[in-house]
Chain A
Amino acid sequence: MTEPSLVARITDFANRADPYPLYAELRRTPVLHEEADAPYVISSYWDIESLLHDPRISSDAANLAAAGADELNQAENTGLPPSFIRLDPPEHDRLRRIANSAFGPPHEPRRIDDMRDELHRIVAELIDGLAGETEIDLVDQFAYPFPVTVICRLLGVPREDEPRFRSWVDPLVASLDPETRQGADPEFVRKAQEARTQLGMYLAGLVEERAKDPRDDMLSDLAAGKGPDGAMTMMEVLSTAVLLLIAGHETTVNLIANGMLTLLRHPEYLRRLREEPELAVNIVEELLRYEPPVQLVPQRTCITDIEVRGVTIPKGSRIWLMLAAGNRDPERFKDPDRFDPDRDDLQHLGFGSGIHSCFGAPMARLEAQIALAELARRLENPRLVADPPPYRPNAVLRGPRHLPLAIDGVVA
């Protein structure tokens, strides 16, 4: 019996709870290519960072499809055009600029910061709801509902529709996982496509309403298209809305759950956070390095032969950028396996870098800072019930599926 390949071990669920020893093994071959059809796996910080800024590396869904083995592209083959995350410039730039003008500076400079009070209110309500319980599931009762509520408010999606789109989002997110994609049967692909179509149709209804009767939300702004780049087409609006809806909460759930798990494993920081809530800024940055919600970027290909560390990656090859491995690269960080929010060099690839760097980073940061500071302050004597907790299957968007905690109560 042969040893399974490293790529197979990355996607193997058995390694989900602690993939970091595997990443250390990966870094020993910074440009790993195990067999003919396998991706080129890049695992050291500087290489990843430099490829994220390399104009010869494409994110275009069409190039990826040509490189083969990209079931995700099939999942997106639903009549909706690719969202800007799967496009290259100049189309990427145009769509991202329009979306950004509805999201932040210079057109909406205060949209995120103005949500501060509302975020506090949502967090307070969710924690109030835990009163009287002695065992909670932090994921289902807090880490999931919080960002979902926020992205719904931001986009202008009625919160009460959440159960409906939940049933569409789940198969879509599952389709992002390389393992499930490789094992994808036609039925699975069909379901993911259908989910995307349904979600798109649902959002189309909302966008039409907003076009007639605009409110202060992103769907209204996208429908109006006020920026210097003009408006998106209806189909582009829908692709963008699907992207924002999914990316706007599937990652933050993990950031918050990974965060609480890490703090409970490092109780001195939980204690300090309770006393100095401003430490949340550093804690969240260090979490993005230490336990990033997006562990790898599997959707890149090169449009020409490129050389990385002396290895020539042929034109059209698939490339996986192992962000989480780069984040713990000892060539880049001192003592990389230590969780240390006090380090003076708080850098990471948690939000990627370059033109596709996380669009929602300001939102994600603020959500996680407020959530963790309030959880630290208000949960009485929180303890992990299971360590490690049960994980979600996804190797790309990695995080606990449940995070059962025992608590003595909730502080007012």
Chain B
Amino acid sequence: MAADYVDWLRREGRIVIVGASLAGLRAAETLREEGFTGSLTLIGDEPYDPYDRPPLSKSVLLGKASPRHTELPRRRHLDAEWRLGVPAAGLDLTGKRVLLADGEEVEYDRLLIATGVRARPWPVAEEAELDGVFVLRTRDDAVALTERLRAGAKRVVVIGAGFAGSEVASACREMGMEVTVAERAGAPLVGALGGVVGAVAADLQLENGVDLRTHVTVTALEGDPMGRVRSVHLSDESVVEADVVVVSLGSLRNTEWLTGSGLGAGPRGIASDAGCRAFDFRGIVTDDVFVAGDVARSPHALFGYQFLSLEHWGNAVAQAETAAHNMICPASDRRPHMWMPAFWSSQFGVNIKSVGVPPMGDELMIIQGSTAERRFVGVYGYKGRIVAGVTFDNARWLEYCQRQIEQGAPFPVEYPTMDRRPEGRKAVPADFPDPALPTHGPTVTLSGYSPADRRLVFTPGHH
């Protein structure tokens, strides 16, 4: 019976993918690769073919690549129906239909949700609308920001020193602009890598001429009478002039369209089991709805089965492939999504890479190189084992860190390694900020709820 259904689904079923970016595209390709011959529909809110985002904050800003030409390479011909430029507006789980913003409906037999995240906008709407205020997430964002920078911007303020904000600051400095970075925490990258590594990132910015302001928040963006941004007011009562402001405050998960659908979707993403099957709001796994990419949140065996949300390029690909595989195979052939979290960044001429889940670690050891030279390998420890690794200009050792995490290797690291310096012989607190304090947001979100969100009330059911 169940096997018959899978056979039928593979042959002539209807699969709909909401989200036409990296995860959506790779899932569609995997479905075809694995022999799905039914109808395939991809729905995307942007009018463009799936494109690659990492270049937008690096080579595109520097003018080394055009924002209009970062299309993702295709692995194969898809034979799919594309509904681009129309966001999904709702989901009818019982009727198995996706509702589109233009009023149309698309029926499915199996659904994959890969709607990703969007940039968190500046919270004060009239200030966000000032001319010269940008976010950077989409191709359109990159076109607009690049054109403005090219048009002779001189003073740029970046709000938020996470990876994206730091990359923007790096590119702007390389182009010779004056750059101020305002960060609520004590250093750049602290949400993702902690205060010890953040201090290295801070030195890097200062040495490259960034006017780095930490422990401050932006209280207001001020415009001139023409509606152009003129200055940025900080919580230490200083005022910084600016002709461009880049708001880089992390991201929001695109789940609003699922409100009321009954799916377990909210501000922290869509929860799923390890096989990418979405949970409904009661915590019961669905049979026909799958999730992948930045919007997904799934348990990971290597990290205590915490529900991880990963905004990582590689995760989007791997999760899409797993989800697609599981969508069209018998239950016994399903496989878990077990991708090792990993990301990279390039800023101020330094290559930064990480594996595992640094914010889970409470201690850090520099096991090779030195933070003073900004070339090092660090490992993060939690409860006596290694849970993450980070490298600055030392990426070729990262694979070793990954193996150590996979093997649950002990922390602290007692044995000698090549190029170990005195500072690497002891573990130090990794110095992550209190998770209840919002920062620009790590690229890994541990667990499903925000510790800052204290509205959760447990109400036992009554019959």
Q: Which residues on A are within 8 Å of B, measured CB to CB?
A: 49-50, 53-56, 58, 88-90, 93, 303-305, 354-355, 357
Asked whether B397 is an interface residue with its Cβ less than 8 Å from the other chain, the reply is yes
Query: How far apart sit A56 and B342, CA to CA, in the bound complex (Å)?
Result: 23
Q: Which residues on B are within 8 Å of A, measured CB to CB?
A: 367-369, 373, 375, 377, 396-397, 399-400, 403, 415-419
Q: Are B419 and A89 in contact (CB under 8 A)?
A: yes
Chain B residues whose C-beta falls within 8 Å of the C-beta of A49 in the assembled complex: 399
- A90 and B369 in contact (CB under 8 A), knowing A53-B396, A55-B377? yes
Query: How far apart sit A355 and B396, CA to CA, in the bound complex (Å)?
Result: 6
Chain B residues whose C-beta falls within 8 Å of the C-beta of A53 in the assembled complex: 396-397, 399-400, 403
Chain B residues whose C-beta falls within 8 Å of the C-beta of A90 in the assembled complex: 369, 373, 375, 419
Query: How far apart sit A278 and B155, CA to CA, in the bound complex (Å)?
Result: 48
Q: Is the interface of B mostly helix, strand, loop or mixed?
A: mixed
Q: Are B418 and A58 in contact (CB under 8 A)?
A: yes
Query: How far apart sit A93 and B391, CA to CA, in the bound complex (Å)?
Result: 14
- A303 and B397 in contact (CB under 8 A), knowing A55-B377, A89-B368, A90-B369? no
A50, A304, A357: the one contacting B416 at CB < 8 Å is A304
Chain B residues whose C-beta falls within 8 Å of the C-beta of A50 in the assembled complex: 399-400, 403
Query: How far apart sit A322 and B422, CA to CA, in the bound complex (Å)?
Result: 34
Chain B residues whose C-beta falls within 8 Å of the C-beta of A305 in the assembled complex: 415
In the complex, what residue of chain B is closest to A357 when comparing beta carbons?
B396
Give the one of A50, A90, A305 with max B CB within 10 A. Answer: A90
- A93 and B418 in contact (CB under 8 A), knowing A50-B403, A55-B397, A357-B396? no
Chain A residues whose C-beta falls within 8 Å of the C-beta of B397 in the assembled complex: 53, 55, 354-355
Q: Are B375 and A93 in contact (CB under 8 A)?
A: yes
In the complex, what residue of chain B is closest to A106 when comparing beta carbons?
B349
Q: Are A56 and B396 in contact (CB under 8 A)?
A: no
Q: Is the interface of A mostly helix, strand, loop or mixed?
A: loop
Query: How far apart sit A394 and B377, CA to CA, in the bound complex (Å)?
Result: 37
Chain A residues whose C-beta falls within 8 Å of the C-beta of B377 in the assembled complex: 55
Chain A residues whose C-beta falls within 8 Å of the C-beta of B415 in the assembled complex: 56, 304-305
- A303 and B400 in contact (CB under 8 A), knowing A89-B369, A93-B375? no
A-B contact pairs, 17 of them (CB 8 A): A50-B403, A55-B367, A55-B368, A55-B397, A55-B400, A55-B418, A55-B419, A56-B415, A56-B417, A56-B418, A88-B419, A89-B368, A89-B419, A93-B375, A305-B415, A354-B399, A355-B396
Chain A residues whose C-beta falls within 8 Å of the C-beta of B417 in the assembled complex: 55-56, 303
Shortest beta-carbon distance, B174 to chain A, in Å?
A: 12
Chain B residues whose C-beta falls within 8 Å of the C-beta of A357 in the assembled complex: 396
In the complex, what residue of chain A is closest to B370 when comparing beta carbons?
A90
Chain B residues whose C-beta falls within 8 Å of the C-beta of A303 in the assembled complex: 416-418
Chain B residues whose C-beta falls within 8 Å of the C-beta of A304 in the assembled complex: 415-416
Query: How far apart sit A26 and B368, CA to CA, in the bound complex (Å)?
Result: 33
Shortest beta-carbon distance, A283 to chain B, in Å?
A: 22
Shortest beta-carbon distance, A60 to chain B, in Å?
A: 8
In the complex, what residue of chain B is closest to A58 when comparing beta carbons?
B418
Shortest beta-carbon distance, A384 to chain B, in Å?
A: 38
Shortest beta-carbon distance, A300 to chain B, in Å?
A: 11
Chain A residues whose C-beta falls within 8 Å of the C-beta of B369 in the assembled complex: 89-90
Query: How far apart sit A53 and B418, CA to CA, in the bound complex (Å)?
Result: 11
Q: Are A89 and B418 in contact (CB under 8 A)?
A: yes
B396, B403, B419: the one contacting A354 at CB < 8 Å is B396
Query: How far apart sit A58 and B419, CA to CA, in the bound complex (Å)?
Result: 10
Chain A residues whose C-beta falls within 8 Å of the C-beta of B368 in the assembled complex: 55, 89
Known contacts A53-B397, A55-B418, then 9 further A-B pairs from the complex at CB < 8 Å, ordered by chain A residue: A54-B400, A55-B368, A55-B417, A56-B416, A58-B418, A303-B416, A354-B397, A355-B396, A355-B397
Query: How far apart sit A124 and B141, CA to CA, in the bound complex (Å)?
Result: 50
In the complex, what residue of chain A is closest to B373 when comparing beta carbons?
A90
In the complex, what residue of chain B is closest to A57 when comparing beta carbons?
B418
Give the one of B368, B396, B403, B418 with max A CB within 10 A. Answer: B418
In the complex, what residue of chain B is closest to A303 when comparing beta carbons?
B416
Chain B residues whose C-beta falls within 8 Å of the C-beta of A355 in the assembled complex: 396-397
In the complex, what residue of chain A is closest to B420 when comparing beta carbons?
A55
In the complex, what residue of chain A is closest to B377 when comparing beta carbons?
A55
Q: Are A88 and B400 in contact (CB under 8 A)?
A: no
Q: Are B418 and A88 in contact (CB under 8 A)?
A: yes
Chain A residues whose C-beta falls within 8 Å of the C-beta of B419 in the assembled complex: 55, 88-90
Chain B residues whose C-beta falls within 8 Å of the C-beta of A55 in the assembled complex: 367-368, 377, 397, 400, 417-419
Chain A residues whose C-beta falls within 8 Å of the C-beta of B400 in the assembled complex: 50, 53-55
Of all A-B residue pairs in the complex, the 5 with the closest CB atoms, nearest first, are: A55-B417, A89-B419, A53-B399, A53-B400, A88-B418
Chain A residues whose C-beta falls within 8 Å of the C-beta of B403 in the assembled complex: 50, 53
Query: How far apart sit A88 and B418, CA to CA, in the bound complex (Å)?
Result: 7
In the complex, what residue of chain A is closest to B399 when comparing beta carbons?
A53
In the complex, what residue of chain A is closest to B393 when comparing beta carbons?
A93
Shortest beta-carbon distance, A19 to chain B, in Å?
A: 28
In the complex, what residue of chain A is closest to B401 when comparing beta carbons?
A53
Query: How far apart sit A49 and B402, CA to CA, in the bound complex (Å)?
Result: 13
Shortest beta-carbon distance, A61 to chain B, in Å?
A: 14
Query: How far apart sit A49 and B369, CA to CA, in the bound complex (Å)?
Result: 22
Query: How far apart sit A53 and B134, CA to CA, in the bound complex (Å)?
Result: 42
Chain B residues whose C-beta falls within 8 Å of the C-beta of A354 in the assembled complex: 396-397, 399
Shortest beta-carbon distance, B446 to chain A, in Å?
A: 27
Query: How far apart sit A88 and B403, CA to CA, in the bound complex (Å)?
Result: 21
Query: How far apart sit A268 and B415, CA to CA, in the bound complex (Å)?
Result: 52
Shortest beta-carbon distance, B349 to chain A, in Å?
A: 8
Query: How far apart sit A309 and B447, CA to CA, in the bound complex (Å)?
Result: 35
Query: How far apart sit A95 and B461, CA to CA, in the bound complex (Å)?
Result: 69
Shortest beta-carbon distance, B337 to chain A, in Å?
A: 21
Query: How far apart sit A58 and B418, CA to CA, in the bound complex (Å)?
Result: 7
Query: How far apart sit A93 and B375, CA to CA, in the bound complex (Å)?
Result: 10
Query: How far apart sit A214 and B368, CA to CA, in the bound complex (Å)?
Result: 37
Chain A residues whose C-beta falls within 8 Å of the C-beta of B399 in the assembled complex: 49-50, 53, 354
Chain B residues whose C-beta falls within 8 Å of the C-beta of A56 in the assembled complex: 415-418
Query: How far apart sit A357 and B399, CA to CA, in the bound complex (Å)?
Result: 14
Shortest beta-carbon distance, B21 to chain A, in Å?
A: 24
Shortest beta-carbon distance, A191 to chain B, in Å?
A: 33
In the complex, what residue of chain B is closest to A89 when comparing beta carbons?
B419
In the complex, what residue of chain B is closest to A306 when comparing beta carbons?
B415
Shortest beta-carbon distance, B366 to chain A, in Å?
A: 12
Query: How far apart sit A304 and B418, CA to CA, in the bound complex (Å)?
Result: 10
Query: How far apart sit A317 and B417, CA to CA, in the bound complex (Å)?
Result: 15
Shortest beta-carbon distance, B318 to chain A, in Å?
A: 16
In the complex, what residue of chain B is closest to A354 when comparing beta carbons?
B396
Shortest beta-carbon distance, B299 to chain A, in Å?
A: 27
Query: How far apart sit A1 and B82, CA to CA, in the bound complex (Å)?
Result: 74
Shortest beta-carbon distance, B208 to chain A, in Å?
A: 13
Query: How far apart sit A50 and B407, CA to CA, in the bound complex (Å)?
Result: 13
In the complex, what residue of chain B is closest to A91 when comparing beta carbons?
B419
Query: How far apart sit A49 and B400, CA to CA, in the bound complex (Å)?
Result: 10
Query: How far apart sit A193 and B368, CA to CA, in the bound complex (Å)?
Result: 34
Shortest beta-carbon distance, B350 to chain A, in Å?
A: 11
In the complex, what residue of chain A is closest to B395 when comparing beta carbons?
A355
Shortest beta-carbon distance, B146 to chain A, in Å?
A: 21
Query: How far apart sit A304 and B414, CA to CA, in the bound complex (Å)?
Result: 11
In the complex, what residue of chain B is closest to A93 when comparing beta carbons?
B375
Shortest beta-carbon distance, B113 to chain A, in Å?
A: 29
Shortest beta-carbon distance, B190 to chain A, in Å?
A: 26
Shortest beta-carbon distance, B288 to chain A, in Å?
A: 31
Query: How far apart sit A102 and B377, CA to CA, in the bound complex (Å)?
Result: 26
Shortest beta-carbon distance, B431 to chain A, in Å?
A: 24
Query: How far apart sit A357 and B397, CA to CA, in the bound complex (Å)?
Result: 12
In the complex, what residue of chain B is closest to A46 when comparing beta carbons?
B403
Shortest beta-carbon distance, B63 to chain A, in Å?
A: 16
Query: How far apart sit A354 and B399, CA to CA, in the bound complex (Å)?
Result: 9
Query: How far apart sit A137 and B432, CA to CA, in the bound complex (Å)?
Result: 66
In the complex, what residue of chain A is closest to B368 when comparing beta carbons?
A55
Query: How far apart sit A196 and B156, CA to CA, in the bound complex (Å)?
Result: 56
Query: How far apart sit A85 and B166, CA to CA, in the bound complex (Å)?
Result: 35
Chain A residues whose C-beta falls within 8 Å of the C-beta of B373 in the assembled complex: 90
In the complex, what residue of chain B is closest to A56 when comparing beta carbons?
B417
Query: How far apart sit A368 and B339, CA to CA, in the bound complex (Å)?
Result: 36
